[in-house]
Structure 1
């Protein structure tokens, strides 16, 4: 009898639900056991570059095929690997491939196996094989570990791996700690593309003269890293297009004269245009931005306001068949566009007060959207109209409390941000 038939014919109740759960757990356990032992495996992967770490992995084509559309095409489609029992994968690190296989077989990655050293490689591997849930798991992990101390190093990797959602979170943190970031030694080691992404921000909370000094320092460090003289021409070459995101028109005459006027970073024509812009009635057209960056007060007016504080213990609401109940959680990070919760501890449902309970609709305003994300799933809540009640789109409703009970990090996004 099929599972769907069993579900439709059996009476509803705790005993049936428990039986189904037990059966699924037993099947999952057998699959995990086959993964760990390699029993009945029918494909072998050789992963890694010959000049570095190379490891062999055994797996089961059927399991890979039902989990990944790429593996399905590889083993059951009309591609060169079809029918092969051995596959070489030189462009993926073995640790990342191991994490990917673990997720395929167990729907998760052991805590000790996912770390800052392999999480981006794991994310890239997940993208290659069409595993968006693993991509999200890696993203949640990175964001949960993000601090002011590791922000620039994380941003550098996120830019390299094109992890745009992580880039956004890092840049938001750079905004809040602009002065410290610009003056840190880590700033000198970021890539040119990362530098450009930072300089493009209109929300950097630093004086433009400080930004210019940081750019000069970065250019000199880049020359040193590339073993070339830190001449004006070489520094300018290292900066590339990033130079044209420095808002030189915001420097005063003294800062212009003592800074780029003496360093040689700008051409005589560019300097003349800047001095003309500062002093002439009719302003010349410049190659540099002239708009001032937003102040902290202006950013507060434009940014969504969070309802929570880091470290605050709160409760998330779940609406079960027997009525609403609550699961305690702790806020571990507040960002401009989302708040990250983690499972706290077991507690009594009657300990939650009204102002402690989090519901998706608490985030809703007119024409806004809330995304509830976890390592494994998400749901989207949209404003439904004048009644203020949320409607849910997507395959299923994801309850925050249910996810937290599985000890997953849960991110609550708002204002239409995915």
Structure 2
């Protein structure tokens, strides 16, 4: 039997791989067999350690693998537990714990940020469990295998023009907004002089993924295939190639402000660079808000150009609304957009933690956005 097993190799079993019996599953059955046949402790310990080395942050690559590994390792732990074990935990020169732990005994040691040294006389199980706090200034966007971006939007409406009353989803911090949109017929102009360079306060006016923007500020107006023709004293001239329609857009400054009763739409874009399966996205909700809607809209401003969008942008397998967050679960996801809408219900200043995502069975792949602070005023 041992001739077909190489615990030092990445390919443990020779010519025996099967999707339903991966290395973790097979090793778990082998561990049970070795214990029932009373093999030497060295052989049993070697297999148990190999199972542990295949784990990813306390779990294994699949649900069935995790279940079997935990079951068999627990029986190994009962069999191999020493009567007494000396345990010492130190942080620098400070001794946090130094005592004997008896068979079957569990101890909990509160830890704070820093480096720790754990010394034991015999093998033990060590679990790190707890909550972590990071100051807002430390909450920087980062990721490995995923890219995650988040935009907070507020529902406003066009005030003037033929498109008066049209809903806009303006970024809450944007110092600009669209106040007038007029649809027009190019045949109305015998001659039209336009400046092709459209700049406001030194920032370029442009479309990104179908949305009109000034620099990095989202103005919340979307077209399918937009083109900026130019600008003159009447406004910014825009063409939508998909509908062959033409618009004159006027923009003015706004004072970013949130009030009780405002509807906020949080739009989070995810890109799964490694096509990892079983992905979770968590979108935090401030305590001053009630969730009104959740949706997965796909890469809504890109599907026009991608014939494979029905495969690339699947819906969520499950959406779970909680008091402090909304969790989106995906079996497969490549590139997608989720939208969490909530109504602000109380004044105050609120911290919104970063949105985050991770692969459920490969936790080294993750991403999170920056944190945010919002101030809500009385209406």
* TM-score for the superposition, normalised by structure 2: 0.23
Name the structure where helix makes up a greater proportion of residues. 1
Structure number with bigger Rg: 2
Question: Which protein has greater RCO, CA pairs closer than 8 Å, 6+ apart?
Answer: 2
